[in-house]
Structure 1
């Protein structure tokens, strides 16, 4: 049995958990033996102010977009060298492992296991403990928030790997079985049902009361905002499965959009961002101290091509090429530092968008407007407007979020001529590539359904920056925006260069500790599937 530690805040107590809870070991039979608070503080002593369950939430909230205890390296592996790169947002100016790494599709297990292990050890384990302590009965509003955070964290995990252990988590035994992704999504929707119903009932019965406020790193204890977050999360997941489960997607999407259920995010005050408890933004450290982040060539092509006023809010100018924005194409054979460190980096110096104190972004209202535009495109009820109206609302909300020129947005949404530009690498012409798309910005009601979707997703992709995991997922689902393929593909034929990477293989630790079940999980990926990065997930249809 492997022991895992997490922190209980206010007061601080370190508790050793038997995680079985998974990650590095699936065994749970000795859970109670290890689940002991060795500080001498009993649950009864902590109950009067709800510390006995609330104290676990800071770890849960700061481990989704991981920087718990400000361990920046974990974030780099969980998010930055995976979703941030595959989304077309960022690219490290660092030749990690001699360019035999994720950027060239030579997938590094020691990197890619992080998203799996961190989620189970730092989110699922403390949520299990909150459940074990009876939160569902004694503090149902706390449990409702735990369920929302659970879905937010674990949908990222299933959208990376596919089948995951979910329904069996914490059930004991020496192994943990995997659920197929469709079943995981079904449980997500049911858990959001419980959360929204519970919080709406609580708010009606206890207006203005929030015992969760001192543990809340997102909304300061505002349960109505948590309801909007849950509904918005439901809408995100509903739209995701629209291609493979049309009726279920419509049902869940319309439920999310029904104002009687508490509404969805609409203004930037509603954005789900994590801050407080000394949490620092890991992107800032990785850019400033480690010089391990730069603009991706796809970002350059689209944002420069569109003359996007948000560009200086997102990135600094390239110091090696003054007055320009310059990205690095994925799969480039990057030379040793400091050769490519003169390319554009996330905006830490000029507009200082990213600081150590910048909150970690989970979801924004701009994203929700674009989801509503797609819902309207699908003919769902309660979308709140036409696809074109909602599309433009998404752009305007994003401009407001980033404090971009409020006058410039009018010209931007009316721009029917600007297009993505060709990519030219001044260091190595081998990396050059023609623009991947000629899609413009202005909404065109006469456009084809595919062109309408490309506009929606391209602008949504711009607006969701820097949340690369979600952007990569939406690229896989829709094929938009059209991103540059890798220059060098070292996957030994398991990943198609043009189709691009579709998922991450299961961690090697699962093969050593949970072998029989992970082998069954591979079969859940589809007939004849193998555990590699070229296999499509359930919702990822060819397009």
Structure 2
């Protein structure tokens, strides 16, 4: 693995939005190196737009030319993407003794942490040091939004993290409690959205063409504002189990029309464009070029059971000659040895069959309008203000918007009151078979109790969010939905419950080596246990 240093805001933005940066070195380097860019480099970018554009273009991390998606694979794909029920690897890494069977590998557990500090926090800190926050408040607002979007994934992976003092230059970097981190997120979103509303409603202009740098919204600050409000809503909902008062307060604020609105159409989806020679979508690269990831049994069984019209857009059919072409996923933790060839012919992302939705240049999805409709449906179920419609109408709009996103006809899907998820059968090993994970149907029932309503909302939200596994894993942990197949082989030595399933990643070993006193204090915040079975703060009810 190699190190690549970000030399501009938009290199930072692309790394964060892809959710996958290049491999990086030790966290302590963040406090001394700050991305390898001199102050004069960054100042020159703003004095000379041509230089800025050139550096921005050169600095964007790619995954198939100058680098590869190995970092993404460790950061998310072999962790959250699989824990969410979306994927499973056919590759028996370490003889099947790896994170996918709850044998937590030290070398796999730290990538999310390193990406957060070396590629996200360091870049934002460099912008702040060089005065971007005061010179260009609207641009700084986008940087703040991206920092919150990226670092929320880090805290949701580990729990307490260094945040308020990150970049302070200290040798011992204190961890903040996850509650404090979330409170800072909401304050940073306050600052960012205030600046964006001021810029949108004012006469200020930028001395450069913002759209040239914007790989998501083509320079549309209104869409950035709507994403920020949608992000606030997402983060607020994470807290419903532990801090329902804050969850309601922040959700109602996000949905207040005076704040600027949330994402309502697929034109507002948060997805980073992949363009230019040498750049690629890392998830597709891993599936297509390495054949290291295949579809998970859980999502396959929900979608085949529901006869979901999106299935042919999401997945291809199996290519294994030992059983007929069909949609067939792999159950998590079922690869205990053998060869990758044993399971590589199960369903993959659809980059070949019929009407493929994925290619090496597919934009990388972070948040969609469909997710926001389901968030609003949950707010309506909880009787919170500003949801804007009934839970049923928002639920159905979420489904319809997702179907539209994937360019399929919804047909009678929303009125289907009988279809249920399938049981799982493994054509190659009946020991992996399992009964249907749930009996939940699709059609809304307003007379159902809140638990049934929640399972419907989160199950359909989960299907709609594919293939973004980080948020899907978070939703499963905070709600228990959708009901997922448990791991087949649990090699955690009793630290992780097979039924409750994995709750977080252990802190990186490098933190114990270089920041031991502070990481041990963070472990105390977790209840004195640092393992995959330990719940993060928002995952525990008061």
| TM-score higher than 0.5 | yes
- 1:311 corresponds to: 311
The equivalent position to 2:235 in structure 1, one of 237, 245, 265, is: 237
Give the whole-Å Cα distance in 1 for the aligned partners of 2:216 and 2:199: 19
The question of 1:348 aligning with 2:328 is answered: no
Residues 142-157 of structure 1: matches in 2 within 5 Å? Answer: 142-157=139-154
Q: Are the equivalent residues in 1 in contact too, given 2:27–2:117 (CA < 8 A)?
A: no
Indicate the RMSD between aligned Cα atoms, in angstroms: 2.6
Give the whole-Å Cα distance in 1 for the aligned partners of 2:64 and 2:541: 35
Tell me which moved more, 180-189 or 241-250: 241-250
The equivalent position to 2:75 in structure 1, one of 56, 70, 78, is: 78
Cα deviation, residue 323, structure 1 = 3.9
- 1:26 corresponds to: 28
Give the whole-Å Cα distance in 2 for the aligned partners of 1:371 and 1:94: 35
- 1:282 corresponds to: 282
- 1:291 corresponds to: 291
Cα deviation, residue 241, structure 1 = 0.5
Q: Are the equivalent residues in 2 in contact too, given 1:370–1:460 (CA < 8 A)?
A: yes
- 1:15 corresponds to: none
- 1:17 corresponds to: none
Give the whole-Å Cα distance in 2 for the aligned partners of 1:10 and 1:478: 35
Cα deviation, residue 222, structure 1 = 0.5
Q: Are the equivalent residues in 1 in contact too, given 2:35–2:123 (CA < 8 A)?
A: no
Question: Tell me, which stretches of 5 or more residues in structure 1 are unaligned?
Answer: 13-21
The question of 1:192 aligning with 2:189 is answered: yes
Residue deviations 1:475-494 (CA, integer Å, cap 9, x gap): 00000000000111000110
Residue deviations 1:53-83 (CA, integer Å, cap 9, x gap): 88887799969xx999652111111111001
Residue deviations 1:362-393 (CA, integer Å, cap 9, x gap): 10000000000001111111101111110000
- 2:335 corresponds to: 333
Report how many aligned residue pairs link the two structures: 522
Residues 68-107 of structure 1: matches in 2 within 5 Å? Answer: 70-107=67-104
Q: Are the equivalent residues in 1 in contact too, given 2:377–2:457 (CA < 8 A)?
A: yes
Cα deviation, residue 48, structure 1 = 3.2
Cα deviation, residue 44, structure 1 = 4.8
Q: Are the equivalent residues in 2 in contact too, given 1:332–1:488 (CA < 8 A)?
A: yes
Give the whole-Å Cα distance in 2 for the aligned partners of 1:259 and 1:461: 26
Q: Are the equivalent residues in 2 in contact too, given 1:59–1:68 (CA < 8 A)?
A: no
- 2:6 corresponds to: 7
Tell me which moved more, 221-230 or 291-300: 291-300
From the superposition, tell whether residues 276 and 348 of structure 1 become closer, same or farther in structure 2 (CA, over 3 Å): closer
Cα deviation, residue 252, structure 1 = 0.7
Residue deviations 1:298-321 (CA, integer Å, cap 9, x gap): 012100000000000000011223
From the superposition, tell whether residues 49 and 254 of structure 1 become closer, same or farther in structure 2 (CA, over 3 Å): farther
Q: Are the equivalent residues in 2 in contact too, given 1:70–1:280 (CA < 8 A)?
A: no
Cα deviation, residue 208, structure 1 = 8.2
From the superposition, tell whether residues 34 and 455 of structure 1 become closer, same or farther in structure 2 (CA, over 3 Å): closer
Give 3-state SS (helix, strand or coil) of 1:421's partner: coil
Cα deviation, residue 167, structure 1 = 0.3
Give 3-state SS (helix, strand or coil) of 1:361's partner: strand
Cα deviation, residue 283, structure 1 = 1.6
Give the whole-Å Cα distance in 2 for the aligned partners of 1:197 and 1:261: 9
Cα deviation, residue 5, structure 1 = 5.2
Give the whole-Å Cα distance in 2 for the aligned partners of 1:201 and 1:264: 17
Cα deviation, residue 525, structure 1 = 1.1
Residues 167-186 of structure 1: matches in 2 within 5 Å? Answer: 167-186=164-183
Give the whole-Å Cα distance in 2 for the aligned partners of 1:452 and 1:114: 36
Q: Are the equivalent residues in 2 in contact too, given 1:58–1:216 (CA < 8 A)?
A: no
Residue deviations 1:264-289 (CA, integer Å, cap 9, x gap): 00000000001145331012211111
Cα deviation, residue 410, structure 1 = 3.7
- 2:223 corresponds to: 225
- 2:511 corresponds to: 510
Give 3-state SS (helix, strand or coil) of 1:338's partner: helix
The question of 1:393 aligning with 2:393 is answered: no
Q: Are the equivalent residues in 1 in contact too, given 2:331–2:488 (CA < 8 A)?
A: yes
Q: Are the equivalent residues in 1 in contact too, given 2:7–2:59 (CA < 8 A)?
A: no
Question: Tell me, which stretches of 5 or more residues in structure 2 are unaligned?
Answer: 12-23
Give the whole-Å Cα distance in 2 for the aligned partners of 1:198 and 1:54: 24
Query: What is the TM-score of this pair, normalised by structure 1?
Result: 0.91
The question of 1:265 aligning with 2:269 is answered: no
Q: Are the equivalent residues in 2 in contact too, given 1:361–1:467 (CA < 8 A)?
A: yes
Residue deviations 1:448-499 (CA, integer Å, cap 9, x gap): 1000000000000000000001100100000000000011100011000000
Give the whole-Å Cα distance in 2 for the aligned partners of 1:502 and 1:303: 25
Cα deviation, residue 47, structure 1 = 2.2
Give the whole-Å Cα distance in 1 for the aligned partners of 2:493 and 2:463: 32
From the superposition, tell whether residues 25 and 340 of structure 1 become closer, same or farther in structure 2 (CA, over 3 Å): closer
Residues 492-531 of structure 1: matches in 2 within 5 Å? Answer: 492-526=493-527, 529-531=528-530
Give 3-state SS (helix, strand or coil) of 1:186's partner: helix
Give the whole-Å Cα distance in 1 for the aligned partners of 2:530 and 2:249: 32
- 2:484 corresponds to: 483
Give the whole-Å Cα distance in 2 for the aligned partners of 1:523 and 1:536: 12
The question of 1:206 aligning with 2:203 is answered: yes
Q: Are the equivalent residues in 1 in contact too, given 2:274–2:362 (CA < 8 A)?
A: no
Cα deviation, residue 46, structure 1 = 2.8
Q: Are the equivalent residues in 1 in contact too, given 2:211–2:218 (CA < 8 A)?
A: yes
Tell me which moved more, 500-509 or 325-334: 325-334
From the superposition, tell whether residues 371 and 55 of structure 1 become closer, same or farther in structure 2 (CA, over 3 Å): farther
